[in-house]
């Protein structure tokens, strides 16, 4: 069960707590059409040491939308995220958007 696995780490409760990751994000929208986003991810140094920021922009028009995001480089050498400096995008077609607008 989930509760029994919570205490099975060799380092005890302290190690269990280091296995938690922290992710925070925020979004600002203007006129429900333009969007700006930012986020942060943290992982303990003994459990992977990944730390990075993300930023993103989005635009929505009728049933169509497009989103861009960028993973800001952080860390050096082995600790650098392999996705640093990557730009990602997504296209959206909202099938319910036309009905909701009426």
Segment 14-42 mean pLDDT? 90
In a domain, 11, yes or no: no
Q: How confident is the prediction for the chain on average, in pLDDT?
A: 83
SS3 per-residue string spanning 57-72: EEEEECCEEEEEEEEE
12 within some domain: no
Domain count within the chain: 1
pLDDT for 17 beyond 90: no
| The predicted structure's pLDDT at residue 96 | 83
pTM for this predicted structure: 0.71
33 in a domain, yes or no?
yes
* 40 assigned to some structural domain: yes
Give the dihedral sign, CA 68/35/24/90: negative
Whether 75 is in a domain gets the answer yes
The answer to the question of residue 13 being in a domain is no
How confident is the model over 32-49, as a mean pLDDT?
A: 90
Distance between CA atoms of residues 25 and 69, nearest Å: 13
For residue 8, the model assigns a pLDDT of 67
As a whole number, mean pLDDT of residues 19-31 equals 93
Q: Are the beta carbons of 55 and 70 closer than 8 angstroms?
A: yes
Report how far residue 24's alpha carbon sits from residue 54's, in angstroms, rounded to the nearest whole number: 10
Predicted confidence band of residue 2 (pLDDT cuts 50, 70, 90)? low
Which domain does 29 fall in, by range?
Answer: 21-101
16 falls within a domain: no
Q: Is residue 93 a part of any domain in this protein?
A: yes
Sign of the torsion formed by the C-alpha atoms of 90, 93, 98 and 99: negative
- What local confidence, expressed as pLDDT, does residue 99 receive? 57
């Amino acid at each position: 069960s989930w509760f029994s696995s919570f205490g099975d780490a060799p380092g005890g409760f302290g190690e269990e707590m280091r296995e938690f990751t922290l992710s925070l994000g925020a979004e600002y929208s203007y006129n429900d059409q333009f969007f700006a986003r930012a986020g942060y991810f943290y992982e303990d140094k003994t459990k992977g040491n990944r730390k990075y920021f993300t930023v993103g922009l989005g635009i929505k028009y009728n049933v169509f939308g497009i989103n861009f995001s960028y993973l800001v480089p952080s860390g050096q050498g082995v600790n650098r995220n392999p996705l640093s400096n990557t730009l990602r995008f997504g296209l959206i077609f909202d099938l319910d958007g036309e009905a909701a607008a009426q």
